[in-house]
Structure 1
Amino acid sequence: MKKVIVIGGAGTIGKVVTARLKEDHEVIVAGRNSGDIRVDIADSQSIEAMFREAGQVDAVVNVSGEAKWDHFDNLSEEDYYIGIRSKMMGQVNLVRIGKEYLKPGGSITLTTGILADDPVLLTTSAAMVNGAIHSFVRAVVLDRPDIRVNAVSAGLVADAFEKYKPYFPGHDPVPMEKVANGYVKCVDGQITGQVVRVMA
């Protein structure tokens, strides 16, 4: 049994991932507004405090992070920084800080999404930060082969399909069990430096 911290464990994907991981592991849920521990991944001091409270862990799973959706002509420089601070640097900092709290052979799993490969309208900023994380996980393991770092990139998940389907014409919903399997593969498998794409 591993000690796993799931950041964003109360969200649409996070609650499914948390339930699945709890079948085999001790899970600590961290979130901005709920969970066992509070954390804001856009704030590196908050990340440090979370890890100090959680202590040494076998795995870190992040299913949090935000980015601004809007037409390119409407996006200000500050709008881009929402995604840069949260979904991009927030996840980079989870690895940068979290590596010190990982037990030997530990893993960190980040979250991106289909927009990195198949963007839709209004997603210039979100697609940009997702793509940056894909490059990051492939590169960081070259410098730190002692830890496993991966990202899960899912299509439009079933539990959010009705809300977002107007933005994703022609996309098939990805079953939640299949999405959870992507995270299990990263936590319990031996892969590293991979983007695990989970599609319908």
Structure 2
Amino acid sequence: MKILIIGGNGTIGKTVVSHFKTSHDIIIAGRTNADVTVNIEDSKSIQSMFEKTGPLDAIICIAGEAKWDNFNALTEDDYYIGIKSKLMGQVNLVRIGQHFLNNKGSITLSTGILADDPVIKTTSAAMVNGAIHSFVQAVALEIENNIRVNVVSSGMVEAAYDKYKDYFPGHNPIPMTKVVNGYARSVLGKGNGEIIRIYD
């Protein structure tokens, strides 16, 4: 399979790339130091990326930002960071990317536990994650050419535990192997419109 992994140089992305590259042709996309560059906040950049990759069998997105801050400190513009990046960035990857997928191709988006179990300072991030869950369930009903769309929603991964542990008191860090299995299930399985939760 020819698989495009957006965010393939990130904490989770590197491990996902390592897993799939043993048996598949991998293209890594990112802002810098990638096989093809992309800014997912810009639909024209997304279009250009797909024109460079050509036809694909699977698209995986492990990218997108959202502002973390206390609710009373968040401005309208702060919310738009997550809306433009993690939400509309991934929506546009589906909207545009479907036309570059082979029949029976798949698209896998990424969110996180905040959609179901938010913590303080995550009003914006939790909102965006929840919106993506609803989007995936809805778009799966309409997308054509037998394309499947799923989302992997992970808890705090072990590799990020030291950085984020103070935000997630009592949460169990998720082994990276479990997270990778979520992406493998989405890409290699038959599920469509699934929220693949990996929370423990």
* TM-score, L = length of structure 2: 0.98
Cα distance in 2 for partners of 1:154, 1:86 equals 18
Report Cα offsets for 1:41-83 as digits up to 9, x if no partner.
1110010010000000000000000000000111111100000
- Give the RMSD, CA atoms, in angstroms: 0.7
Alignment of 1:65-104 (within 5 A): 65-104=64-103
Question: Could you tell me which residue of structure 2 aligns to residue 185 of structure 1?
Answer: 185
Identity of aligned residues (%): 59
AA in 1 matched with 2:154:
A
Shift of 1:24: 1.5
Aligned mates of 2:21, 2:139 — CA distance in 1: 28
Aligned to 2:18: 19
Residue 137 of structure 1 aligns with which residue?
136
Which residue is 1:164 aligned to? 164
Between the two proteins, the alignment pairs up a number of residues equal to: 199
The CA distance in 1 between the partners of 2:77 and 2:143, in whole Å, is: 32
- Letter in structure 2 aligned against 1:44: S
Equivalent in the alignment of 1:151:
151
Equivalent position of 1:122 in the other structure: 121
How far off its partner does 1:144 sit?
A: 1.5
1:172 alignment partner AA: N
Secondary structure of the equivalent of 1:167?
Answer: coil
User: Aligned partner of 1:180: which letter?
Assistant: V
Q: Could you list the runs of 5+ residues in structure 2 that have no partner in the other structure? A: none
Aligned pairs for 1:48-59 within 5 A: 48-59=47-58
Unmatched tracts of structure 1, length 5 or more:
none
Offset of 1:197 from its aligned partner? 0.4
Instruction: Name the CA distance, whole Å, in 1 between partners of 2:9 and 2:81.
Output: 21
CA positional deviation for 1:158: 0.5
Structure 1's consecutive aligned runs of 4 or more residues displaced over 4 angstroms after TM superposition are none
Query: Paired residue for 2:176?
Result: 176
2:76 and 2:65 mapped to 1: Cα distance? Answer: 16
Whole-angstrom CA distance in 1 between matches of 2:198 and 2:138: 21
Q: Match of 2:54, as an amino acid?
A: G
Equivalent residue letter for 1:144? I
